[in-house]
Amino acid sequence: MSDRTRTIEKRYDRVSGIYNMMDRMIKDSWRQGLLSSVQGKVLEVGVGTGANLPFYPAGAEVTGIDFSKGMLNQARKKLYQLHTENHIRLIEMDAQDLQFSDQIFDFIVSTCVFCSVPDPIKGLRELGRVCRPDGKILMLEHMRSENKVAGVIMDLLNPLTVRLWGANINRRTLDNIRCAGLTIEESEPIYGSIMKKLIVSRNNSMQNAIKLVN
């Protein structure tokens, strides 16, 4: 794990005890809307304190990963209180170096994660690798505003948010997704251009590349 990754991980450990009080960014109805269609084998990256766990439909087999022990401990408490019948396991793992074989998940979920992953393109490539060719990556991600003035303000504030809790507020996440070789199938603004619901898939060239290697 790189020094940069360890630094961001420690920042999330530091805020984990108060994270649920701090975080009001994603409405429960947005989480529910994103997750209502998932089924089969699901990977949630950056599961955090487990805010999405109540919204998985019955029968989904969920693996939640996060690199912060503190955040995972909060997620475990949440899971214990949920009494869900879904099979949910929580594992400490870095999204940039997933310990799973290729093409095994039907759905991959990330909500407000790629603002913090130290090398977002590396992390997104990993999502593409473990997603089945016909699988979907569902995201609710905040990113740099398309409004020029708001974008510059976000650039100015970014060093502060990174220092406080590890999140970049000015990431160009749509560009990062494309750079990682993934295809944005749907992009729905849910809070101006700052918060978007995204449906992403592996693109054909990636699938062809894997076919050639095999």
Ligand X SMILES: C[S@@+](CC[C@H](N)C(=O)[O-])C[C@H]1O[C@@H](n2cnc3c(N)ncnc32)[C@H](O)[C@@H]1O
Of residues 67 and 105, the one with the C-beta less far from ligand X:
67
95 scored as a contact of ligand X (CB under 6 A): yes
Of residues 160 and 209, the one with the C-beta less far from ligand X:
160
113 scored as a contact of ligand X (CB under 6 A): yes
194 scored as a contact of ligand X (CB under 6 A): no
Q: Which position among 63, 94, 182, 206 is part of the footprint of ligand X (CB under 6 A)? A: 94
8 A C-beta contact, residue 126 and residue 46? no
Q: Which position among 56, 67, 105, 107 is part of the footprint of ligand X (CB under 6 A)? A: 67
38 scored as a contact of ligand X (CB under 6 A): no
- DSSP code per residue over the chain: --HHHHHHHHHHHHHTTTHHHH--SS-HHHHHHHHTT--SEEEEES-TT-TTGGGSPTT-EEEEEES-HHHHHHHHHHHHHH---SEEEEEE--TTS--S-TT-EEEEEEES-TTT-SSHHHHHHHHHHHEEEEEEEEEEEE---SSHHHHHHHHHHHHHHHHHHS--SS--HHHHHHHTTEEEEEEEEEETBTEEEEEEEE-HHHHHHHHHH-
Of residues 91 and 156, the one with the C-beta less far from ligand X:
91
Q: Which position among 41, 42, 43, 66 is part of the footprint of ligand X (CB under 6 A)? A: 66
74 scored as a contact of ligand X (CB under 6 A): no
Give the full edge-to-edge strand order of the sheet including 105-111.
87-92, 61-66, 41-45, 105-111, 131-142, 195-202, 182-191
In the complex, residue closest to ligand X by CB:
48
12 scored as a contact of ligand X (CB under 6 A): yes
Using CB under 6 A as the binding rule, the residues of this chain from 42 to 61 that contact ligand X are: 46-48, 51
Q: For the window 154-173, what string marks contact with ligand X as x by the rule CB under 6 A?
A: -------------x------
CB of 159 to ligand X, least distance (A): 17
Least Cα distance to 11 among 116, 157, 159, 144 occurs for 116
Q: Which position among 15, 38, 42, 71 is part of the footprint of ligand X (CB under 6 A)? A: 71
112 scored as a contact of ligand X (CB under 6 A): yes
Using CB under 6 A, list all residues that contact ligand X.
12, 23, 26, 46-48, 51, 65-68, 71, 94-96, 111-113, 116-117, 123, 167
